[in-house]
Structure 1
Amino acid sequence: MLKYLLSVFLFLNTLVFASDFEDFEQEYQKKEVKDSFYTYNKAMSKFNYDLYMYLLRPVVLSYKSVTPTFVRTGVKNAFDTTRSPFRMINHLLTLEFKKAGEEFGRFCVNVIFGLGLLDSASKTSLRSYEADFGTTLGKWGMGSGPHLVLPLIGPSNLRDSLALPVNWFMVPEGYIKNFWLGASVNAALRLNELSFEHEKIDDVYQNSVDYYTFIRDAYEQRRQELIK
C-alpha cells in the first residue's frame, strides 16, 4: 500500500503544475523544444495518461465528493505554507533577497494569523514566487537539457530530474525517518491539491489535438519563464 502511495506521490508531484496552463494558454508562443527521446517520451506520456484517467482521477473525484471544501482548502493552505521555506531557500540561493523576504513574510503571517491553515497573507501585498532547485540550477546557468517524461512523475527535463532528490529534502516529509511514511504523507497532500486542479488537467487532455506536445511545450516554456 505504501509503495502504491509513493507512486501516486511521484505522479502528482508534476501533475499539479497544470494549474499554470490557463496562464500559459494566454501567452503561449510556439518554441522549439529539444526532444531527443521523443519515441520514449510519447510512450511514457501515454502510460501516465492512462494512470491518471483510470486510477488517479476516480480516486480524486471520490475524495472530493466526500470531503468538505473547507477541509480541502485548509489542507491546501497547510501544504502551501510548508513549502514557503522551500521557496525562500531557493530564492536565497539565487540571491533574490526581495523574493526571499516576501516569502518569509508570507510564512510568518500565515503561521501566526492563520495557524498554517488559512491563507491570511493573501490579504497583504506579499507575493509568493514559484521556485525549486531545478529553477535554481537554471538561474546558475545550467541548461535544461533534453525533455524527459518520467514514469509516474510526468513532464520534466534532464536538469529538473537531477534536482528531484534535493527538492525532496527541502520539504518536511523528506525528514520523516520512515521514507515510505513520508512519501505517503506527500501523496495525500498532492491528492488534495489535485482535487482543486483536475478540471484543468481534464481540459488539457480532452481538448488538445496532441496532449503530449502541448504539455511538453507548456512545461518547457513555463520552466524557462521561471529562470528569467
Structure 2
Amino acid sequence: MIKDLKGIKVKDLKINANAAQPDTVKDPLQSLNRPIYSFNDMLDRHVLRPVAVEYREKTPEDVRGSYRQFRKNLGEPWNAVNQLIQGRPGRAAKTLGRFTINTLTTLGLADPASRLGLPPEEESFGVTLGYYGVPSGPFLMLPFFGPSTLRDGVGLAVDAQARPQKYIMDDQDGLYWSTNLLQAVDTRAQYLDLDQTIQGDQYAMIRDLYLQRKAFQIAEKKGDSADVSFIDDDESEDVPEDNTDKTEK
C-alpha cells in the first residue's frame, strides 16, 4: 500500500543524503519489514486496489474531491495545534482562519480559503517531533498502514487520539471504521496512476520516497528545504500536491 506520498511522481525524485544511506543504517529491520510489505501488497492487489478502481470509475471526480476536502477540513484544528507546538502562531492563525472560512461558507466541502490567500499546510505529530529534532528511528513497514518510522508510529498513535472524528463518532464504532475504510479507498484511488511507474524493487522505492518526503516536510518548516532536495517546483498533474506554506511563524 502506498501511504503518505502525496504530491510526487517518481520522475520528480531526487536522491538526498538520507536515501543514500546504507540499508543497514536506515532500515535495520528490513528482514521484518519486507514480509509485512508483501502482506500489505497482497491485500492491496486482491482487495484495496480493485475496490479503488471501481470507486474512481463510478464516483464523480467532484464528489471525490468534496469528500476529500471535507476530511481535510476536519483535521485543520489539529493542524493548528501542531503549528502552535512548533512555535508558529502565525501559521496556526491562518489554519484556524481556513477552517472558519471553509466551514462557514461550504461546510468544509470546498476550499475558498486558498483563493483568499490561506493555503493548506497539513501536519502530523510525527512531523512536529521531527521539527524539534527527535530522530526518526528505524524505518517500519506497518501492517495495513504502510511505511512509517519509529517516530512517525508514535505520532500516528497520537494523531489517532487527537483527530476530531474519534470524538464526533464516539460510541459509533461501525460508522467510525466505515469512514476510515472509505478514506483508505479514496487515498488508494489517488495513486492508481503510479502503479505502473514504480518498477523494480518496489519496497525499496516506497521506503526511500517515504523517508525523503518526511525529511523534506520537516526541513521545509524549518526553512532548510533547499538542503533536502525532493521534488521539482512544478505541481504534479497526476496526484494533487499540498500547497504548503513555508516556514510561516
User: For the residues of structure 1 that align with 2:183 and 2:206, how far apart are their CA atoms?
Assistant: 23
Q: Which portions of structure 1, spanning 4 or more consecutive aligned residues, are displaced by more than 6 angstroms? A: none
- How many Å apart are 1:16 and its aligned residue? 4.2
Higher helix share: 1
Residue identity (%): 32
1:21 is the counterpart of 2:8? yes
Q: Does 1:217 align with 2:198?
A: no
Backbone CA RMSD of aligned residues: 2.0
Q: After the TM superposition, which residues 1-228 of structure 1 pair with which residues of structure 2 at under 5 Å, given as runs?
A: 15-22=2-9, 25-29=12-16, 30-32=19-21, 34-175=26-167, 176-178=169-171, 179-200=173-194, 202-204=195-197, 207-228=198-219
Cα distance in 1 for partners of 2:117, 2:11 equals 24
Q: Find the aligned partners of 2:51 and 2:155 in 1 and give their Cα distance.
A: 29
Aligned to 2:243: none
Give me the whole-angstrom Cα distance separating, in 1, the residues matched to 2:3 and 2:100. 25
Secondary structure of 2:141's counterpart equals strand
CA contact under 8 A between 1:24 and 1:218: conserved in structure 2?
no
Q: What is the identity, as a one-letter code, of the residue corresponding to 2:122?
A: E
Q: TM-score, normalised by structure 1?
A: 0.84
1:105-135 deviations in whole A, cap 9, x for unaligned?
A: 2212211222211121231221222310101
- Tell me, which stretches of 5 or more residues in structure 1 are unaligned? 1-10
Count matched residues: 212
Alpha-carbon distance between aligned partners in 2 of 1:23 and 1:101, rounded to the nearest angstrom: 34
Q: Which runs of 5+ in 2 are unaligned?
A: 220-249
Task: Judge conservation of contact 2:80–2:91 (CA < 8 Å) in 1.
Answer: yes
Which amino acid in 2 is paired with 1:79? R
- Does the aligned pair in 1 maintain the 2:26–2:139 contact within 8 Å? yes
Check conservation: 1:155, 1:219, Cα contact below 8 A: yes
**Residue type matched to 2:20 in 1?**
K
Give the secondary-structure state (helix, strand or coil) at the position aligned to 1:149. Answer: strand
User: Contact between 2:102 and 2:108, CA under 8 Å: does it hold in 1?
Assistant: yes
Secondary structure of 2:147 counterpart: strand
Q: 1:24 to 1:164 in 2, by over 3 A?
A: farther
d(CA) in 2 for partners of 1:188 and 1:172?
A: 17
